[in-house]
Structure 1
């Protein structure tokens, strides 16, 4: 077990604030607050940023491919794409080999927003882990990859 139980907490007590889900959620909430406070574009959310990064790094993709490359669920990615399209940061087109498939492409405006955001993203990552020493940072990244089941970044 994790948390206070190891420090002598009786088995029948459950401190939700010492559970992994709670701590991960709190860490993510802190990261999101840092993201919003330090983003170069106050309208850009972290999931929109991740979507733009995936499109820049992997090229035009279908919604299903974006779901896989960003780890954002299908219902959420639809809304993200709609908001990015409304801002002209992405464009939608037909797949030449399958007219039923919609392909999402980052636009020049999207690249401009993304290019301005990259230095901010580096700072956001730094601010998120600023209280950790280099060994703790390495251990955190390793542990998170272990939890999600991958030893390397995808």
Structure 2
């Protein structure tokens, strides 16, 4: 049930609401994982873009250095993250996943695929279009905070005729599942 609003909310409230429910959706699927949603997302950045400095992680995530440092300490204490000296800057260290951290992260990845599938079932526009729009909002928030650009860009994939032919005759839900799986494959293979 929609309640009448005394006036329009601003886009930042909309973003906060979206962030909260997206976190809840992923958290449901990660219920059996030792990782929190924030740790899972952080491991994803470190896995795909690492080794990285804590400063880079702070800038990419918008987390305060103290909040990020506490999270890194917890994950390092569990043996899932390692810090090594940064040869390019002796004042900092590089953060990377350990073998144990990679195993924990890899074990949690199917939960993200399921959460993505659950979202796709209810999304009334292609996943890539939604991500492109969110990426523009992200860029605006980063500019307002004077943060560097996000560490990666999502470009709309080119749909091939063979994929279209392969999905003909599928239900809308089946097509959404194929698109979600294709997105996951691109993500997985770009990370390697």
TM range (shorter): 0.7 to 0.9
8 Å contact from structure 1 (residues 36, 42) kept in 2: no
RMSD: 2.9
Q: Deviations over 1:1-28 (max 9, x none)?
A: xxxxxxxx9xxx5244xx4233322222
8 Å contact from structure 1 (residues 41, 113) kept in 2: no
In proportion to residue count, which structure has more strand?
Answer: 1
Give the distance between the partners of 1:21 and 1:97, measured in 2 at CA. 37
Give the distance between the partners of 2:64 and 2:154, measured in 1 at CA. 19
TM-score by length of 2: 0.62
Change (3 A) 1:41 1:105: farther
Equivalence for 1:14: 7
Q: 1:37 aligns with which of 28, 46, 51?
A: 28
SS in 2 for 1:146: helix
8 Å contact from structure 2 (residues 132, 154) kept in 1: no
Is 1:145 matched with 2:135?
yes
Measured after TM superposition, the shift of residue 62 of structure 1 is 1.4
Q: Deviations over 1:54-99 (max 9, x none)?
A: 2211221211122234443423211221111121110122223443
Q: How does 1:58-73 map to 2 (within 5 A)?
A: 58-73=49-64
Structure 1: 5+ residue runs without aligned partners? 1-8
For these two proteins, the number of residue pairs brought into alignment is 142
Structure 2: 5+ residue runs without aligned partners? 140-148, 156-192
